[in-house]
Amino acid sequence: MDASSLPLPLKDILFFSFLFLLLHYLFSLLFPTTSKSTSSNLPPGPRGYPVVGCLPLLGANPHHSLAHLARQYGPIMHLKMGKHHVIVASTASAARVFLKALDAYFSDRPVDAAPIRLAYGAHDLVFAQYSPRWKLLRKICNLHMLGPKALETNSKIRRSEMAHMVRSMHDSSQRGEPVKLIEMLSALLANIIGQVALSRRVFDTANAEAAEFKDMVVELFKEGGKFNMGDYIPAFVWLDVQGLEKRMKELQRRFDEMLTRMVREHEMSAAEREGSPDLLDIATAYMHEETRDGVRLTHVNIKGLLLNLLAAGTDTTSTTIEWAVAELLQNPSILKRVQAEMDSVIGRDRRFEESDISNLPYLRAICKETFRKHPSTPLSLPRLCTQDCQADSYFIPKNSRLLLNIWAIGRDPDMWENPLEFNPDRFMTPKGTTIEPNGNHFELITFGAGRRMCAGDRMGVLMVEFALGTLLHCFDLELPKGVELNMDEAFGLALPKAVPVSAVLKPRLAAHAYL
């Protein structure tokens, strides 16, 4: 028998099979099957490179790079990233097209490495597919934590936790110690969420466990916001060229240990809450009974929901407040003006209360201006197009990914005069006072809009106004001697400051107001 007729060894068969599949995949990227007429109707965008497409164009700050590209290609832009079509909306009018007129087509999310590794395989609220289970999780949050009635019911918890933070800050001020604002604010927010969801404080105002939790949340938002090569070029998944898979798995392990402990301790204390269930009790009840739609929650859903509340509910809000403080330190005249407003309305004999917010238009304008210039989420979480559609005469293919450049929308010079300037007065005009970050005004969509708008928008706005107002009313702030203010950003799912703010606080109220 001729040696050439002998079968190949198994390892060679596997090698050539893999090579064939890889070449077939690369060929499909280089020569897509999309018809010429369809391709010509796609939104304009950069050509990109073979195989990787436009991924190398994103750089270290994708929101900056995409904003720059949008100035060249337009407010609705198409980029081919690996095998995926990505649509980027960079103006308020473009966002309105997708989140109002076409919202029903963009209500799902792609299930990539981040939701798989960091959000229990997208079995949480943030990344879950638009489905009865997602609707149930959102309903539970609205009824028991995030909706108007729940916010009113839980006002005493917020007031109590704010008092804890103020006393801790006052103690530091008496010792002359600089305060790391982000750590204090994260502990405040985590404890408020813990009281509502778990019926207990999660951390002391500032300790080692709280600092570790904050570090984990920062890492989660940092890793979760990166563009993972494996999400766009499946052949690269097993290579893990960026090391993301390894880091995300380890981070998920650490979070799971913490969340599993919290859920277990909560279940063991269930008898103590008989007759007054908290949010987690309500959610856990759906593990034992189905809804009319046949939905039954699991332990994974419960832990995923708790992760969403603790991570998203602390990081985005604390980051926004820190940016506001940084801007005020750079603009002392604005700081003096808002403190004068509070002194006029509240005086200095008592602390700031939530009921004061409606009487402080300049404080609210400062918060809106911070939402505009420093959105907590610079690029929206991606949405998935569920069917072919048309957007402003452009063809949008099914399974395209939609990104909103919220950072670019807030700095659009056609929408905002002198957009790089921090100017709260733009929200003090008759038109400006009507603009709210509630999903109805697309020039200020900090929390998104449409079906997948952030469920915590009301609580986010309230906590920024309440915590920032309390901080500015109770204390004068200044940088430690010899320290310069750094205004650089650190990109991720959120947009924190690259260098956190440490401030020296000086009490400005009557002594009894801090008790």
Residue positions forming the annotated binding site for heme: 454
507 SS3 class? strand
How many CB atoms within 10 Å of residue 4? 5
Host H or E run for residue 432: none
Query: How far is the C-alpha of 370 from the C-alpha of 359, rounded, in Å?
Result: 19
Please, what is the Cα angle at 90 between 84 and 92, to 5 degrees?
Answer: 130
- Rounded CA-CA distance 332/340 in Å is 12
Give the DSSP letter of residue 100. I
Torsion (CA) 163, 166, 170, 172 in degrees, nearest 10 = 120
The token pair at 234 is: 């499946």
Closest among 467, 492, 216 to 317, alpha carbons compared: 467
Q: How many Å apart are CA 410 and CA 286, to the nearest integer?
A: 40
**Rounded distance between C-alpha atoms, residue 227 and residue 229, angstroms:** 6
- Residues 281-319, buried b or exposed e (16+ Cβ, 10 A)? bbbbebeeeeeeeebebebebbbbbbbbbbbbbbbbbbb
Edge-to-edge strands, sheet with 179-180: 179-180, 502-507, 475-478
* Residue in this structure with the two tokens 């998104």, named with its chain if needed: 448
Strands (E), 335-420: 383-384, 389-391, 394-396, 401-404
Length of the chain: 515
Q: In this structure, are strands 84-89 and 389-391 parallel, antiparallel, or unpaired?
A: unpaired
Annotated binding site: 454
CA 30-36-40 angle, 5° bins: 100
347 CB-near residues (< 8 Å, 6+ apart): none
Question: Under the phi-then-psi rule, with left for phi > 0, alpha for psi from -120 to 50, and beta for the rest, what region is 240?
Answer: left
Torsion, CA 212, CA 215, CA 217, CA 220, rounded to 10:
-130
Q: What is the CA radius of gyration of the chain?
A: 25
Residue 405 phi, psi dihedral angles, 5° rounding:
-85, 85
